[in-house]
Amino acid sequence: MRGITKRFPGVVADDRVDFDLRQGEVHALLGENGAGKSTLMNVLYGLYKADEGEIAVRGKTVTFGSAKDAIDSGIGMVHQHFMLIPVMTVAENIVLATEPTKAGVLLDYGEAVRRVTDISTRFGLAVAPDARVEGISVGRQQRVEILKALYRGAEILILDEPTAVLTPQEAKELFGIIKSLQAEGTSIIFISHKLNEVLEIADRITVLRRGKKIDTVPRAGATEEGLAKMMVGREVLLRVEKKPADPGDVVLEVRDLHVNDDRNLAAVRDVSFVVRAGEIVGIAGVEGNGQSELIEAITGLRRPEGGQVAVGGKVMEHVTARKMLDAGVGHIPEDRQRRGLVLEFSLAENIALHDYCYPPDSRWGWLFPRRLVQRARELIKEFDVRGGGPETRAAALSGGNQQKLVAAREVSRDPKVLVAAQPTRGLDVGAIEYLHRRLVEERDEGRAILLISLELDEVISLSDRLLVMYEGRIVGEHGSEASEEEIGLEMLGAGRKEPTAA
Amino acid sequence: MSEPLDPQTGSEPEQDVATAPPATVAARLAFYQRAGGIATPIATALLAFMIGGLLVLATGHNPFQAYWDILNGAGLNWLAHPWNTDIANTAAYNFSQTLLQTTTLILTGLAVAFAFRCGLFNIGGNGQYLVGLFCANWVGVSFVNMARPAHIALGIVAAAAAGAIWAAIAGFLKATVGAHEVITTIMLNWIAYWLGNYIFQQGGPLQAAANKPLDVPISGDVADSARLPVFWGDSALQGLHIGFFIAIAALIVFWLILSRTTLGYEVRAVGFNPAAAGYGGIKVRTNYVRAMAISGAFAGLAGGLDMMGYLFHYGTIDVQATSIGFLGIAVALLGRNTALGTGLAALLFGGLVYGTTHGLQGGSIDPSLAGHLTEMIQGLVVLFVGADVLILYLWNARRKLRRRAEVEGAKAPA
């Protein structure tokens, strides 16, 4: 690809980008959200037409009018969100649009299964051809997508942020698959914004920033710091810098809390802890050990079975989300798209999500849209939310900016306690750095911060005190100098102080 | 396969956002609406009319002539000489009748649209319309000594309240036991239907005393003091009554509530994303009940205005033939659940309803075919607009059921 330029109204998504891929290599395309990685690959896959520049496959200049042309040239793409039909079987999905037929009209299902088995053994990607796609895990679905591309004869495979939807184990498996495909001679373009992945899997790395190619470097000699600097355009602190905490009064106190999950099974058992003004208390743990239920109980979204939560010394009873908000609990929820934002609402409406019912946003039930917009304009500026104004829909923002918007809303309400659940999940380095710095700043201003994260690095580097949660209990407490190994063991249940009755 | 560009910003869609389908039906519809703008509903209507035309052609008639006749039947040719408002003029009369239908359809359309904005599918417009109509009939026949403004106001309030209560039952069941509003509103339609059959039947509580010896299952006539003033035409000839302005006002109220009040903010937030609304401190269940009640009030008001505006009495046969509440679904869907859209769609269907029935002139098509043409176009509109929305809705419902089954399954071994 030479000199590829793609413009959208108002933006240049890709600006004279050169990109080359060698036979049998894994070439990573690295960049922040919105850097133009996906657009570039959509041009290569024939989904967008480049405004300028040319594409050559094996020395031959080509023009792709559609994805079909690209597929015919041996290019396959696995999108981040799969394009599979859930009710159909694996084999049916793979042969879709090129299905073997009986008598010209009927699907020859036996033949389809046979072909799928062939191809899956050839590339060493085990799948069950008869399983329905809706019944298999996301990691398996991705495998089906890869097989679909290979079935159509792909020799160049584009993987668009393939690990974003995977668990760490599934990601490991995927890397294994990529290595074996590489051994078979397939060339792979790996789109990502995660530095460690790229360093693990890629042979060469091309960095894009704001639609421009910054450089292509071999893996040998590349470092996380160096790549991060290329991505963001300045030095990035991958480590958080902070002064020692100066804790004040107890602001949040949780005592003997019991909470059940959706299935009405005990999820939080007998949890007690305090968070003081001016400190960050982190909760580490493997996903599904009661962290979500704990947060929901503290923020009034789930009724506890027993125990109490006190905010600023006042015990909260018959809690509702509204009561907790009014008591001064701010909450950055773990899923910003499902809970943190109404994606169809404008930024201004989203900023007002808690306070729409109070002056100055409204009075006597009348809403004042202009005031919403005015407040949003101030916060968008203060929190450096990019990608839109007060009237833009939240869905149009990038993940990092959505999270900044949520943070802006929660922090601007001046909460006594800020509960931050996985505040940097799925964000790129620039946004992560910003949010980390912001959390430390809020701590220094005297807020009590409860941080829940699955990223061990993150909790360890940010927290002044750290609690480890396992099977709904707090199984360990550490100061800021905790060792990763020790906490890791506790997260897996090895550090249990008391054996559970079950 | 290509991902849509965001038409508002024109920028590259963020991978994790644009491709993830919006969570709720209301959100999906909003997405859809933005993508197509005004073009989609117009295309939808045109396509429906085209297919209808093909059917006319298949029966050996000229579709252009047929549509021209329907257009004249709806009185739209009156717009060419609007200074002649005398209803002795056929075009003027037909147009006034179209507006009479439009009045009802605006309100039954709003009944569907308002619930939809809260993420609820109110299929019960017909039942809510009926109970509103019953109450208005009862008030109109009973309190004969009241002053006219008070009598009219009482009838209107009673009709709206009846519709509101009727719909709120479904909202309440949804909020408390999670009963799906599609199912409950359909059942409430049948309850209203049989209620109507009962109250007007031989010996029923609202059967007119004068009819009793004759075995006629028809109600008494609304007293003169409860009849809405007619401003175009003659009260005895189904003149256009002031309910038309009430319907127009309802469109404005609908818009005001949704875009200028905290109540509307809550409704929209719940409609787009109940989880985020709850997180924001909004009481989601309360909103379900309230939104259904407001929806039902619109439909009940429609029934009340019809009763006090031009029907004046009702019988069991009329109850059985009532379907104007269902037409509200097509109106709301075509109007994209907005105030302006609902108003325009109501005018379109109002014209169709009248133009293919009483207003139809000329022999270009069989009158019975013409009558069915309205139903067909209605059906096609719902199909085209609703297909995507409905499929997603059922899909979500199914996923919810399955999740519940999983939860049950997981509970058993533990």
H-only helix segments in B148-273 = 148-177, 181-200, 243-260, 262-272
B260 contacts on A by Cβ (under 8 Å): 366-367, 369
pLDDT at position A261, please?
87
pLDDT category, A62, cuts 50, 70, 90?
confident
Cβ pair B262:A67 closer than 8 A: no
Mean pLDDT of A417-439: 86
Which one-letter amino acid corresponds to residue A243?
K
Give A323 or B73, the one with higher predicted confidence: A323
Q: Is the pLDDT of residue B408 over 60?
A: no
* Residues B305, B309, B313, B318, CA torsion sign: negative
Lowest average pLDDT, out of A332-346, B2-16, B160-174, goes to: B2-16
Question: Alpha-carbon distance B355 to B91, whole Å?
Answer: 11
Residue-wise pLDDT for A268-296, tens only, equals 999 999 999 999 999 988 777 899 999 99
- Using a CB-CB distance cutoff of 8 angstroms, which residues of chain B are in contact with residue A365? 261-263
Å from A358 to nearest chain B CA?
9
The pLDDT of residue A498 is 47
Instruction: Phi first, then psi: give them for residue A43, nearest 5 degrees.
Output: -65, -45
**Across-strand partners of A259?**
A268
The answer to whether the CB atoms of B269 and A353 lie below 8 A apart is yes
Q: How confident is the model at residue B13 (pLDDT cuts 50, 70, 90)?
A: very low
Specify the higher pLDDT residue, B43 or A156.
A156
Which candidate from A33, A392, A426 shows the least CB-CB separation from B9? A392
| Closest Cα in chain B, distance from residue A352 (Å) | 9
Sheet hosting strand A26-30, strand order edge to edge: A75-78, A156-160, A187-192, A26-30, A204-209, A212-218
CA distance A332 to chain B (A): 10
Of B25-34, B44-53, B69-78, minimum mean pLDDT range:
B25-34
Candidates B5, B266, B272; nearest CB to A344: B272
Closest residue, chain B, to A395 (C-alpha): B17
DSSP 3-state assignment of A89? strand
pLDDT at res. A49: 84
- Closest CB to A344 among B11, B30, B266: B30
**Confidence class for position A321, pLDDT limits 50, 70, 90:** very high
CB contact under 8 A, A38 and B31: no
Chain-chain contact of A11 with B10 (C-beta, under 8 angstroms) = yes
Q: Is the pLDDT of residue A258 over 70?
A: yes
With CA atoms as reference, report the closest residue to A75 among A184, A154, A160, A10.
A154
Average pLDDT over residues B380-397: 64
DSSP state of A45: T
* Beta-carbon separation of A342 and B275 below 8 A: no
Lowest mean pLDDT among A64-78, A309-323, B396-410: B396-410
Q: How many CA atoms lie within 13 A of A110 on its CB side?
A: 1
Indicate yes or no: CB of B23 within 8 angstroms of CB of A338: yes
Which residues in B lie closer than 8 A to residue A366 (C-beta atoms)?
260-262
More confident residue, A14 or A296: A296
Contact yes or no for B226/B140 (Cβ under 8 A)? yes
- More confidently predicted of B94 and B128: B128
Neighbours of A90 (CB within 10 A): 27
The whole-number pLDDT of residue B1 equals: 34
Note the pLDDT of residue B412: 45
Q: Which residues of B touch A164 (CB under 8 A)?
A: 16
> For chain A, which residues make up each domain, given as ranges?
2-232, 237-328+416-502, 339-414
Q: Is the predicted pLDDT of residue B260 greater than 70, yes or no?
A: yes
Which of A56-70, A74-88, B235-249, B389-403 is the least confident region?
Answer: B389-403
* Whether the predicted pLDDT of B5 surpasses 70: no
CA distance A341 to chain B (A): 6
Residue A106 in this model has a pLDDT that exceeds 50: yes
Average pLDDT on A429-448 reads: 88
Distance (Å) from the alpha carbon of B260 to chain A's nearest alpha carbon: 5
CA distance A226 to chain B (A): 25
pLDDT at B18: 33
Residue A500 has pLDDT above 70, yes or no: no
For residue A119, give how far its alpha carbon lies from the nearest alpha carbon of chain B (Å): 24
Q: A149: which chain B residues are within 8 Å (Cβ-Cβ)?
A: none
Chain A closest-CA separation from residue B409 CA (Å)? 10
User: Is B273 in contact with A343 (Cβ distance < 8 A)?
Assistant: yes
User: What confidence category does residue A127 fall into, taking pLDDT thresholds of 50, 70 and 90?
Assistant: confident
Interchain CB distance below 8 Å, A357 and B273: no
| Chain A interface mutation, best of B1, B34, B256, highest count of A Cβ atoms under 10 Å | B1
> Between chains, do B276 and A339 touch, taking CB under 8 Å as contact?
yes
Please give the pLDDT value at position B393. 60
| Per-residue model confidence (pLDDT) at position B400 | 62
Residue B369 has pLDDT above 60, yes or no: yes
A413: number of Cβ within 10 Å:
16
pLDDT of res. B21: 43
Chain A residue whose CA is closest to B406:
A263
pLDDT at B411: 45
- Looking at residue B4, its pLDDT comes to 38
The kind and range of the H/E element at A432 are helix A429-444
Partners of B279 on chain A (C-beta within 8 Å) are 299, 301, 321, 331, 333, 339-340, 353
Neighbours of B338 (CB within 10 A): 19
- Pick B15's closest partner by Cβ from A47, A160, A369: A160
The whole-number pLDDT of residue A238 equals 65
Q: Is the pLDDT of residue A74 over 60?
A: yes
Bigger pLDDT: A312 vs B131: B131
Q: Say yes or no: ipTM exceeds 0.85.
A: no
Q: With contacts defined as CB-CB under 8 Å, which chain A residues touch B281?
A: 320-322, 325, 353-354, 357
Q: How far is A302 from chain B (nearest CA, A)?
A: 10
Among A51, A148, A165, A343, the residue to mutate for chain B (most B Cβ within 10 A): A343
The predicted model gives B2-15 an average pLDDT of 35
Q: How far apart are CA A355 and CA A372, in angstroms?
A: 10
Tokens of A324: 């907790």
Strand partners, A311: A252, A314
Residue B100 pLDDT level (bands cut at 50, 70, 90):
very high
Per-residue pLDDT reduced to its tens digit, A146-200: 888 888 888 999 998 887 767 666 788 889 889 988 988 899 999 987 788 888 8
Q: Is residue A209 pLDDT above 80, yes or no?
A: yes
Please answer yes or no on whether B14 and A398 come within 8 Å at the CB atom: yes
pLDDT higher than threshold 50 for residue B19 = no
Q: What is the pLDDT of residue B2?
A: 37
Q: Is the distance from CB of A433 to CB of A236 less than 8 angstroms?
A: yes
Q: Which pLDDT score, from 0 to 100, does residue B20 have?
A: 39
B19-398: CATH number:
1.10.3470
Name the band, by pLDDT with cuts 50, 70 and 90, for residue B344. Answer: very high
Among B393, B368, B392, B390, residue whose Cα is nearest residue B379: B390
Do residues B132 and B167 touch, judged by C-beta distance below 8 A? no
Mean pLDDT of B2-23: 37
Task: State residue B34's pLDDT score.
Answer: 56
Taking contacts as CB-CB distances below 8 angstroms, the residues of chain A near B14 are 33-34, 396-399
Q: Do A2-232 and A237-328+416-502 show the same overall fold?
A: yes
Superfamily of domain A2-232 in the CATH hierarchy: P-loop containing nucleotide triphosphate hydrolases (3.40.50.300)
Query: Which of left, alpha, beta for A133 (phi over 0: left; psi -120 to 50: alpha)?
Result: alpha
Chain B residue with Cα closest to A356: B262
Amino acid identity at B18: A
Mean pLDDT computed over B27-35 = 61
Global confidence as pTM: 0.74
The burial class, CB within 10 Å (0-12 / 13-18 / 19+), for A424 is: buried
Please tell me which residue, A283 or B19, carries the higher pLDDT value. Answer: A283
Tell me what the pLDDT averaged over chain B comes to: 84
Q: What percent of chain A has pLDDT over 70?
A: 95
Q: Residue A63 carries which DSSP code?
A: -
Residue count of chain B, please give it: 414
Distance from CA of B153 to the nearest CA of A (A): 25
Position A339 pLDDT exceeds 80 = yes
Question: What pLDDT digit, counting tens, does each position of A222-240 carry?
Answer: 888 888 888 877 776 666 7
Checking if the pLDDT of A216 tops 50, the result is yes
Average pLDDT, chain A: 86
Superfamily of chain region A237-328+416-502: P-loop containing nucleotide triphosphate hydrolases (3.40.50.300)
Domain boundaries, chain B: 19-398
Among the ranges given (A28-32, B216-220, B410-414), the one the predictor scored with the smallest mean pLDDT: B410-414
Mean pLDDT to the nearest integer, B118-140: 95
pLDDT band at B9 (very low <50, low <70, confident <90, very high): very low
Contact A343 B19 (CB under 8 A): no
- Strand A314-316: give its sheet, edge to edge: A266-276, A250-260, A306-311, A314-316
Report, in this order, helix, strand and coil percent for chain A, each rounded to 5: 35, 25, 40
Q: State whether A367 and B261 contact (CB < 8 Å).
A: yes
